[in-house]
Amino acid sequence: MKKSSSESKLVISQVMMPSQANVAGNIHGGEIIKLMDSTAYAAARRFARSNVVTARVDELEFHLPILIGDLVICTAQVVYAGRSSMEVAVTVEVEDLECEGRNKALSAFFTMVSLDKKGRPNILPELVIETSEEEAAFEEGKKRYEAHKLKRTSK
């Protein structure tokens, strides 16, 4: 079976509430990471059509504060797929609903593993690349995958 990267693309949006913030009105980083993980999960599951689990998250760096009342838009898409693991690019944009425009708040790569009903690694569909941007993202994902694999085996 083959699937395109674009078939996995998913967007989840949420308005940030006071219960998600500290006393200064800044949203807790963990709330954003949880939303990112949920979005990565849904995109990966859409691609794999099986249960998936988070195996790794690349570095997260917040570029701007996210405040109560902001609309957070998480976009996720599978950019690399191996035998049973895949890399999902997740981008977070923030929109002040009283102003025009969005700003990029952060992004990360989530490595997700496809599992069968017995909890063992499950073979993924082949990732079909349709654009030059997808090709570049695939090659970068492959490099990260190979670097992480080398790091694991050298321990």
What is the domain extent for residue 11?
2-153
Residue 107 belongs to a domain with what CATH number?
Answer: 3.10.129.10
User: The pTM is what?
Assistant: 0.94
pLDDT average, residue stretch 82-87:
96
Q: Which residue has the tokens 């593993």?
A: 113
Tens of pLDDT, residue by residue over 38-63, are 999 999 999 999 999 999 999 898 99
31 token code pair: 């709330």
pLDDT average, residue stretch 63-71:
96
Question: What's the angle, vertex CA 80, arms to CA 115 and CA 106, rounded to 5?
Answer: 100
126 token code pair: 């082949």
CA separation for the pair 53, 35 (Å, rounded): 15
pLDDT average, residue stretch 138-142:
94
Q: How many domains does the chain have?
A: 1
